[in-house]
Amino acid sequence: MDGQKEDRIKDGSYTYPLEKERDKDKVTSMGFSVCAGIAFINSHFPFYAGYEVAESCCESAKSRAKQDCYKGYSTNEKSGKPDRVANWVDFHFCQNIQAQNLSVMRAKEYRTSHGEELMIRPYFIRTDGDFGIEGKVEREKTLDSLKNAIRYFQDSKNMPKVFAKRLRNTYPQGEFQMELLYNFLKSRGWKLPDGKDDLYYEDEGRKIAKWYDALEMFDHFMASDREEMPGEGIGHE
């Protein structure tokens, strides 16, 4: 193995090409993983731009998958099996053409003036062969948690949709305004999906909105038997 490739494996930035992973034992132990990006667009949004956004979302998901789940052929302490790249998905609602530069646009529009971040995305997709990777991922970052929160906000018995939309629209105004709104909702008996009072959670010193992703999605999510997320979306893998 050349020194450059070995260095890339050590820092987790190297992915073995599929054709080199056809050995049955390696496929059995490492498994396959898939990351996906989804861009939701309306009928007037340029298709080429939507495709680029979907591709950027996919790259975001891949980057997160490799961040702490793939360290070359590292070994999981509990199972004794090698860790592998997990399955992650990212999505974006395209409101304007500037969404093409996804990372820059998100840093600008999905962070409040007080520094709170609105998005948890991308999300971890749990499978049966994750070899303990699931234990490394916070509950808030799992796709199952996102879907549960979406279903909660979709049910008017849990919270009237007008209030759910007010939560969504108030998040960008910052923590103080969110606390005022939530205290009002709580005084009338409305609760958040997990039954707690936390509107944010801490992640490596960053304060991230717990419910913004679900609130942005709940008008568009329709669960089927296969629990797909339909709509006018462009996918990329």
In a domain, 25, yes or no: no
DSSP per residue, 19-75: GGG--HHHHHHH-----EEEEE--TTS-HHHHHHHHHHHHHHHHHHHHHHH-STT-B
pLDDT tier, 17 (very low <50, low <70, confident <90, very high otherwise): very low
Average pLDDT value for residue range 192-204: 93
In a domain, 87, yes or no: yes
pLDDT at 186: 96
pLDDT at 10: 43
CA distance 35 to 130: 14
Look up residue 1 and give its two tokens: 């193995």
In a domain, 8, yes or no: no
Q: What is the pLDDT of residues 119-177, one digit of tens each?
A: 999 999 887 655 555 556 778 889 999 999 999 999 999 999 999 999 999 999 999 99
Higher-pLDDT residue of 78 and 101 is 101
pLDDT at 205 over 80: yes
Give this prediction's pTM: 0.76
In a domain, 106, yes or no: yes
In a domain, 180, yes or no: yes
How many structural domains comprise the chain? 1
In a domain, 13, yes or no: no
pLDDT at 185: 97
**Domain range spanning residue 156?**
33-236
pLDDT at 4: 46
Q: What is the pLDDT of residues 48-94, one digit of tens each?
A: 889 999 999 999 999 888 775 544 434 455 555 545 667 899 999 98
In a domain, 28, yes or no: no
Average pLDDT, the chain: 78
Look up residue 104 and give its two tokens: 């820059």
pLDDT at 225 over 70: no
Q: What is the pLDDT of residues 3-15, one digit of tens each?
A: 444 444 344 444 4
pLDDT at 24: 56
